[in-house]
């Protein structure tokens, strides 16, 4: 396996979130949707439907774009087309 490839098990691992992550890296500012790693960014994009409003949804996508730009772009386009942001 090359150094840049991860196993399926590693790809499916849940994002570990600590209290420190929630405090320092929250996309919404209130401890929700912490994004400090690639796995957390993927999880946040998947859970963005639980955001309280359009602004929170945009903030989650913007923060996740740092770690997974292509996935964030697709999420933005999908939400924009659906009128969710």
User: Residue 15 in contact with residue 40, Cβ under 8 Å?
Assistant: yes
pLDDT (0 to 100) of residue 18: 85
Report the percentage of the chain scoring pLDDT > 90.
64
Q: Is residue 1 part of a domain?
A: no
Q: Is residue 74 part of a domain?
A: yes
Tokens of 32: 């929700």
Per-residue burial over 43-66, b if 16 or more Cβ lie within 10 Å, else e, is: bbbeebeebeeeebbbbbbebbbe
User: Residue 31 in contact with residue 22, Cβ under 8 Å?
Assistant: yes
CA gap 3, 22 in Å, rounded? 30
2 has a pLDDT exceeding 60: no
Better-scored residue on pLDDT, 20 or 60: 60
Q: Would you give the DSSP letter of residue 34?
A: B
Q: Number of structural domains, the chain?
A: 1
Q: Is residue 2 part of a domain?
A: no
Q: What's the domain range around 30?
A: 8-81
Q: Is residue 36 part of a domain?
A: yes
């Amino acid at each position: 396996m090359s150094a840049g490839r991860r196993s399926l098990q590693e790809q499916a691992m849940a994002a570990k979130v600590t209290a420190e992550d929630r405090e320092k890296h929250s996309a919404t500012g209130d401890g929700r949707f912490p994004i400090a790693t690639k796995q957390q960014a993927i999880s946040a994009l998947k859970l963005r439907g639980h955001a309280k409003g359009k602004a929170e949804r945009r903030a989650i996508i913007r923060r996740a774009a740092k770690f997974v730009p292509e996935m964030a772009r697709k999420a933005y386009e999908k939400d924009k087309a659906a009128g969710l942001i």
